[in-house]
Amino acid sequence: MALSVVIMAAGKGTRMRSARPKVLHTLGGRPLLGHVVATAEALAPARSILVTGHGAEAVEAAFAGNTRVFVRQMPQLGTGHAVQQAVPALPDDGITLVLNGDVPLIRAATLRALVEACGGTRLALLTVDLANPFGYGRIVRAPAAGDADGIGAVQAIVEEKDATPIQRQITEIYTGILAAPTKQLKAWLARLTNQNAQGEYYLTDVIAMAVKEKIAVQPLIAPRISEVLGVNDPAQLAELEAVWRARCARELLLAGVTLADPARLDVRGSVTHGTDVFIDVNVVLEGKVVLGDRVRVGAGCVIRNSEIGADTEVFQYCVIDGALIGPGCNVGPFARFRPAATLGSGVHIGNFVEVKNSQLGAGSKANHLAYLGDARLGERVNIGAGTIVANYDGANKHTTVIEDDVHTGSNSVLVAPITVGAGATIGAGSTVTRAVPAGKLTVARARQATVEGWRRPVKNKK
């Protein structure tokens, strides 16, 4: 049976106190709506319909996709009104799953169970029991005596502002997520009214319609409260961020990764790893990260969209962005890798070394205070402390080629474009602007002179 997904993402999110649409605020490095879309699409729906409104252009630009349809809710007149905008894009049969774009931690397994509970003939609701249900729609059930399981059949959902004092004592709430036969849902939506305290069209009113038509209402209690918590303000976003961190850390631990402190790891993307990986505290992993067998990551590192080979150790406080680091390397501390940095096996990159769009062959070293930009290094190259590859002429970038077994002395400057031949040695303090011959010592220094009678400038007294 074909599945359609409707995701409500039109709200302004006033309590976020931000010009950015609420659903574009990030959790775990991904927009809130991105989590919901990815989870929904794991169900392989026939179509995904996103209802946009506030900041519609930005939201639609961020989530354009081949199987996604956008409809706009302008103005925003309630949840029922939001789903009404999707009706023209819905087929006449199948199942429709309705989700909220600001409930990011819902799991695909829970949604599958809800769709199965619907089965194309029932109205399935995802509910949860909260100690403090303030602000949520309450699940109103019939007296339990007539129900086989003693719980009582669902009769209606009553919103907070419309609930009586007795109804407000109910702790079972509606999560905003439901699955319904599409044909019946479209008919119910057509009959919604705004006769309530807020003057809005409530999606929850379809429950009473289903009961009246003797269509079974099947509640499904969410397995975890965290799955159905929404984001209304920055404080709630921070709370869910903590839940996300704990979830990611637990998954890594169960997969065999050793974490020095699970509470101090941020995963903002996907992590693929080998065996016996160790990650120290305050590490941030962003985008797509691949860690080989026995990789060790030191405290305070940020690794983004990078792959690190087996037996490599990344020491403390490195920033690695878009890099491919081979096996058996030593990196850092305090090293920076910018996009397209590639290290062969056994490369050493030390403290305060920056590598950008450069390749280093096996066994090469840059252990201190160096910059390698747009450079192609062979094997066993030794970059001396303070060496700079000057790749930018103020308008264009140029390439430097450093062949195998080259040594550069401390504080040397290689002005690109230039080639340094295999086995060459560049003397300390040299500024090299022409090709360096292989196997020879090249020294390029200005003549030293002492200026007699020179005095250091003195600050003027105030």
Contact of 17 with 235, CB cutoff 8 Å: no
- The enclosing H or E element of 234 equals helix 234-254
What is the C-alpha to C-alpha distance for residues 224 and 247, in angstroms, rounded to an integer?
Answer: 12
CA–CA separation, 84 vs 75, rounded Å?
12
Question: ∠ at Cα 452 (446, 453), nearest 5°?
Answer: 135
368 is an active site residue: yes
* C-alpha count within 13 angstroms, C-beta hemisphere, residue 269: 14
Alpha-carbon dihedral angle through residues 208, 210, 216, 219, given to the nearest 10 degrees: -50
Radius of gyration (C-alpha) of the chain in whole angstroms = 31
* 40 Cβ contact partners less than 8 Å away, ≥ 6 residues apart: 5, 7, 48, 97, 99, 111
Q: Which residues pair with 48 in a beta bridge?
A: 5, 68
Token code pair at residue 209? 């319609």
Report d(CA 86, CA 163) in Å as an integer: 28
The kind and range of the H/E element at 368 are strand 365-368
Which one of 25, 81, 348, 368 is the catalytic residue? 368
| β partners of residue 174 | 127
C-alpha closest to that of 185 among 79, 67, 84, 52 = 84
Half-sphere exposure of 324 (CA within 13 A, CB side): 8
Active site residues: 368
